[in-house]
Structures are given as structure tokens and as C-alpha cells.
Amino acid sequence: MIAELGHFSLILTLCIALVLGIVPIIGAFRGLTGWVAVARPAAFAQLLFMALSYGCLTYSCLTHDFSVKYIATNSNTALPTLYLISGVWGAHEGSLLLWGLVLTLWTALVARFSNSIPDATLARVLGVMGLVSIGFLLFLLFTSNPFERLFPAPLEGRDLNPLLQDPGLAIHPPMLYMGYVGFSVAFAFAIAALLEGRLAYYELGWGGWWFWDPVENASFMPWLVGTALLHSLAATEKRGVFKTWTVLLAIFAFSLSLLGTFLVRSGVLTSVHAFASDPARGLFILVFLAVVVGGSLLLYALRAPYVKSSATFELVSKESVILLNNVLLVVTAASILLGTLYPLVIDALGLGKISVGPPYFNAVFIPLMAPLAVAVGLGMLLRWKKDSIQTLAVRVRWLVVGCVIGGLLLPLLMPFYSWAAVLGLTLALWTVAITALSLIDRVGAQGFSWQRLASIPSGFYGMTLAHLGIAVFVIGITLTSVYSVEKDIRLALNETVDMSGYVFQFHGVKETEGVNYVAQQAFVTVSHNGEQVAKLEPQKRVYKVQTMPMTEAAIDAGLFRDLFVAIGEPLGKDGAWSLRIYYKSFIRWIWLGAVFMGVGGLCAACDRRYRIKVKAA
């Protein structure tokens, strides 16, 4: 009964999405205020019924209703509660239901917090988001129904994929979707502006951290274009420039999100992240992608020539640097797209099978990101419309000298000297110095005071935190890439190995058992300067239901280094095992930088300037 309620709620959500996608848009075109007024309540109702549907699937999972096919194939009674909950989005159908829930949540948030938007414009925006919802709901109901029944119901389920039985991976999809699907908001504003006929701006265990995996690339490309979009939007708001370019970026950002969905869900990509191949599902998403992208670009081609901008700017200006920022980010995204799709195209044309790996991506990514870091700093100091290169040079000359000296000296504190570290640290110091100078200029322009601090919009603090996050992120990437050490080694009982000043001692392996798995657990102690600093207990698990082996690494985390140990296979009869040991320098700074950027985004989103009610002209 619960499954039927969830299925019926999903159907009702589709019906409401049809109303949301049609009625407000027609009302906005014809000036029917009653039809326009439907948009907000429809957005809230859509979220309500989608949440009810999602809640029904969650309840079915928690109560082990194996008459639901999705539950029977992705859960069992031995799963811990955390993984019963995360199992709701652990496979294709459930993850798409989560996608739909996040999409309706974003739609409702736009409806709730868009007081600054005229009703007719908001109706178009919500209508476009309703149309996007229709596509995904049709996909869910006709090709990926998570409430499909299975008779006779099995007594026990098959279990959740062991790869997903990890606390970090349990929260990864919701966090990813909140941002990934959030590009639909920028897309909806862009299409609404085109429909309106004018543009107005309204406020987007391998031991490593990035593998250039095809699915990672598919999720990374929208963020690159989305970052360009955010900066382009700032220029559009302040100066009225880049209007058509901003719309095009919004279209591309969401289109790349859809492309990533197609690549993953169709099974086209070979990846550790990919779902099972299903040509029918892939064809549906491909057609949906073609309709959305093709229709959007056609509308753009028809409307963009009529969008005029009288604003001008000089070569030395904030606008020019933002444009450079955009070009570098878009070229980077295009280069990653080429490397991701090129093997697929070659294979489809029957020209053989090739792979494009990290060497290609690193070769194109790093040279493009280095000038971007310089541009980030310059953009914060330059004035809108026109500035002086001489004035800028006077302001930054000592900063440049200080950053270069700092970049040259800091690697002396590391185990060995590296020019790659010099480059990365110099760029990071440059970003920090310019961000600090910008903050000082803003706070101290009229004399320092707490009242002055409080009067500065939260959007500025958000920008400051985000740019500091970039600097911290660059430091983490640089030092992790240059100074990390890896060893694959055979260790017998009580043998030791020295790495980066740490002594790892192997104390053997014993069998242990979890709720739904059995494991071989190794015991390793780590000493530094004669004192024990960590006890690590990596495991090699075999999950009972799927009999799938998994390696669970043990990590001793620190602000300046991580010690990482993974267990391999037994070697010989003397109790020896193969172990993989890593010393990861400053890897936590990568996540710390991401936290700074995320908090900065939240600060910017809380800016009251974007929630003040205005009336349409």
C-alpha cells in the first residue's frame, strides 16, 4: 500500500508539473494574472507530493518491503540504518527520484525567495523549471519506476552495493545533486529571459583526490561553466554587459549537467561511478538532451540578436578580466569535454579503442588554471569600465615581489625543493594577498569600525571567503601533488618500513565480522621520532550477500598530512601481506578550501539585496 501511495504521489507530481509548466507561461504571455498566480502554489504542491513519494520509498526501505523490486535488489535486513537510508538513492531508480526531489526543492526555493522578481517573470522561470520536471518525471515513471512490485516477494534482499556502504559516499549524492541540479535555476532564468524577449538580471580508496575518471569529468564540467556564469552574472548586474553571453553560459551549464546524466545513466562510459547499462534509458535522456539543448539554442538564436547593450569598457577594466576568466573556464571545460568524449567518438566510428588519461587532462588543465589564478587577483582590484595600468602596477608591485619571495622560500621548509611547488605557492600567496588588500580597501576606506564591518553586504564577505578558499585549495593541490609518497610493499609480521620520517610496523592480520560482511583486518602502528602517533586497522571485506570483496583503507588524518594504509593480499606462509602505504602532504587543505568556497557561497546567497521586493515596471 505504501508503494502504491508513493507511485500515485509521483503521478500527482507529474500532473502538477504539467500545470506548472504550461499555465503560468501562458498566463505571462497573455497577461492573465490568475494564471500567473498559479506558479507559486504549484511549485510548493509539486515539492509536497514529490517529498511524499520519496518518503514512501524511504519507509519501504526501512521496513524491508521486498515486494518492491528496487528494495529487493538494493537492500537487505542486515544493512545498518544509515545504509538503509542512503540505499534509497543507492541505485539508478532511487537516485533519479532523489534528483527529482532536489529539482522540486530548488523550484520551491525559487518560488519562496524570489520576492525581488516581478510576478510575470517569476511565472516564466517556474514554468521552465516545471517543464524540466516533466521530462524527468516522465523518465522516472516510464523507464525507471522505483515502486515497481516484485511477486512473489523474496524473503531477503540482495544488498546495497558495497562500494556505497561508506559514510562519505552515503552523503555524497545529496550534496552533489544540490549543486548539480541547482544549475536548472540559472537555466530557467536564462530561458525565461529569452521567452520574455528582453534580458533583465536577477540573482549561481585509491588514496587520491581526483582521478580524471569520465564520470568525475562529467560532474566537473558544469561547475567550470557555472563558475564562469557566476562571474558573468556579476558583470551583467553591475554594468549591463555580457547579456547574451550570460544566457548562453546558463544554457551550457545545465546542458552539461544533462550530458553528464546521459553519459552515466546510459552506460556509455566505463567508470567506477557508472550505473548499469540500459540503452532504453540512455535513448530517453539523449532525446531529452537534444530537445532541451536544441530548443534552447534555437530560441537563443532567434532572440539574442534583439538584445542590445550600450555599456562599453576599456581593455584595462574589471569587465575585461571577467571576460578572460570566462574564456579560460570555458576553454578548460571544452578541453575536458574533448578528452572525455573523444574515445567514445573514435570507438563509435570503428577506428579502434583508445583511452585518454590523467597526462592529457593535467597537460591542459594546469596551464589554463595558472593564468586564471592571476586573473582572480587582478579582477578584485580593477575598477569597472576603465582603469589605469600604471595605477594598478603601483598598487601591486610590492605584493608581487612579496608573493614571489614567499613562493621561493616556502618550499625550503618541505622535504625537497620543487619549482612546481614554487609556482603553486606563489599563485596561492598572490590570491591571498590580493583578497586581503581588497578587504582592507573595503573596510578601511572610511576608517575602521565595527559598524563599517556590519554594513558591508554579506555578498562581499562571501566573495572574499570563496577566493581565500581558492588559495587554500591551490596550496592543497600543489603540496599533495609534489610531496606525497606512495609505496606498495610486502611486510611480514613485525617488519617495519620507513617513509617520509614515519615508521610503519605491521603486527599481523586477524578475521573480524561486521553486520553484513566478514573481513581480514590488519594492524599497523605508526611512529614518528620514536613516539607512536597512530594505530591503523585497514580491512579487506567480503560482503555476505553479493560476496563482493572491498578494500577499506585506514587513515590517520592531520592538518598537514594524512597517513593512509590499505591491505592487499597474503604473500607466502610467513604471515606476510602486501600493503599500500601513502604519505599525503596537505591533502586536507583541498577539502578545507572547498569548505571555504561553500561557506562563501552561503554568505553570498544570504545577501539581503537579492530578497527585497520590487514591482514590475
> What sign for the dihedral angle of Cα 587, 593, 598, 602?
positive
**What does the domain layout of the chain look like in residue ranges?**
1-196, 203-373, 486-588
When pLDDT is averaged across residues 90-96 and rounded to a whole number, the result is 78
pLDDT tens across 136-170, in order? 788 888 887 888 887 887 777 776 666 666 676 66
- The β-bridge relationship of strands 502-513 and 496-499 is antiparallel
| pLDDT band at 276; cut points 50, 70, 90 | very low
Most confident of 27-31, 40-44, 174-178, 317-321: 40-44
Distance between CA atoms of residues 496 and 489, nearest Å: 10
Distance between CA atoms of residues 289 and 260, nearest Å: 10
pLDDT of residue 407: 92
What is the CB-side half-sphere exposure of residue 135 using CA atoms within 13 A? 19
pLDDT of residue 45: 92
pLDDT tens across 167-215, in order? 766 666 776 666 557 666 665 655 555 454 333 322 224 445 566 777 6
Q: Across the chain, what does the average pLDDT equal?
A: 79
330 Cβ neighbours under 8 A, 6+ residues apart: 224, 225, 228, 249, 252
pLDDT value at 348 more than 80 = no
Q: What are phi and psi of 606, to 5 degrees?
A: -85, 0
Maximum distance among all Cα pairs of the chain, rounded to whole angstroms? 83
Question: How much is the pTM?
Answer: 0.67
pLDDT of residue 21: 84
| pLDDT band at 412; cut points 50, 70, 90 | very high
